[in-house]
Structure 1
Amino acid sequence: MKTLGILSLDEDVYRTLLEQPGSGTSDLSACLGMDEASVRASLERLSLHGMISFGEHGEPQAVDPGISIARLAEERLKRLQDEQREVLSSSHLFLHQALQWWRKEGGNDHVEPLADCEPLHSRADELIFFARHEVLTMQPNDFAAAEGLAGTRESDLRCLRRGIALRALVPRQALEDTTTAAYLTELIENGARIRFLSGSFERVLITDSSAALVQSAHNSTSESALLIREDGLVRTLQSLFDHCWSSAADAASVLLPAGTESPCDAFQLRVLEAMTHADKDEVGARELGISVRTYRGHIARLLKRLDAATRVQAALHARDRGWI
């Protein structure tokens, strides 16, 4: 229940009340090996969460978990949605603030406004072409027309074939168009990771944590797009992307047939290979051309995906699946 904001100590008290109705403070203290002051504090917290009530004589009574857990989950989802809206609203200010910074600096080689939509596509293709490790995209709405989508498809598939990790955030409304849904499904089947994001957000492309292309989803004027290579601004955009990613819904569970597992992408396979033979994280990270922190993040995600507690166990599971 930690994800719902319940302490493990409080969860133990709640479970005990469910299993042993009628238990008082002293009973709970003896059963759980806790002092009575800690038990009383736990009961107060559980009461505030609506998980217990107190009887006529002050005895704690567990509320039906079907009611209390559902309420907690609903409150947690509301907090996440509020947080997501707050983060997304900040993204609408990013373009304006970046332009202000650029003008204040009197122009800067690290921030380049793009004049119209034509160079926007060519710059995006250029960034993806020269990417070496990872491409992150946020596509807010109105996917390109069929001919444009075909070009994007080829660029994305070529990126995946080169072993570049691709993560994309798209609106769930994208499923309403069968061509777009088929395109997203094909990307997932080829190793891309795609999630659905609610709310309005900017059109963003980030490559290798070093360059970003951002365009306002609400403005198509000549000053609505920026090519950014300034480290601090790119890091800010990547933090925004990662935050949105953490709260977005996995598209594979919707687009792939039931029981179908999204394949391990080429870059994840390279991480697995490095993990099996590199004796130090620094060696593996250097081999892949990424930071140690990023390398360890990839390994943590692989351990979770392979349901492994250790790296050795992950390697064995990966071999069982034929990944390495």
Structure 2
Amino acid sequence: MSSRAEAVYRAMLGGPDHGVDDLATDTGLPVTEVRTALNELADLALLRPSAHRSGLRAVSPQVGLAALLAAAEAESAARQAQIEATRAAIASIAAEHEHGPDGDGARRLEGLDTVRFRLEELQQLTEFECLSLNPGGAHLPDARDAAKPLNQQALERGVVIRAVCRESFRNDTDTLAYARWMTGLGGQMRTVPAVPMPLVIVDRKVAILPIDPSDARVGALEVHSQGMLAAVCALFEQIWVTGTPFGQQAPTDSHGCTPMERKLLEIISDGHTDEVAARNLGISLRTVRRMMADLMDRLDAASRFQAGVNATKRGWL
């Protein structure tokens, strides 16, 4: 019922004998709007022919409005039944996809397109939580644009989203803006110097793992095994507690090292090249070399090997 029709209905209840002109005076509405309101009330079955005079009378609220409420409730119940039927159909279809040839509720998702399609399905079905490890740097525009409405829908229905990304993603303006947008809606994001592999965990029931961590194009494995899920959830939580919340500066330790500097020292101490360090940290080779030169100077080291030795002796690692 419109506010105009409600005003006329109340006026008719207060003045059963009032005609159109009287109702216009009572409500302060033009006569044309009163007539339009009367038509609306008639359509809602809130008017009846008057037995005492020509014209119409208002049906009592206990009868007319109760009938409207019953009709609205019946319509709402029918709509809810349709929603439940749709939800059951989605669950049934999803269940068919959750058991594949790999056994134990796991299946292969061949290629990037298949992985993205399945992630979109899972995000629509997420009930309370989505966790992810993101080793890439800047998000590709098409992937970012595709994920944005899905993330917004999930957050609006109360899903907790926690994401761990590489520190280097802050160097990309568009990805940084996307992170601000997502955290502004309630999503949570932390950064670490290096992320070991891509990972998505949905409701602690499903995990998407790379078939080949070094080449995402190969595809992924969808896992439902409770043992595997316990392991990857523990991995995520371990990395999460070491991350820096988005919007905060990465803290330095008692030796003045940032998390990225410590990670660089670990990589170099393990015998890896600057090129490997740059790839793992998602930063340029030039930046790695600049950081390493600074660390060597602070550690009084003449070589990378000596820097690693000195860092261990001084308790930096």
Same fold (TM over 0.5): no
Structure with larger RCO (C-alpha < 8 A, sep 6+)? 1
Largest Rg, 1 or 2: 2
Question: TM-score w.r.t. structure 2 length?
Answer: 0.45
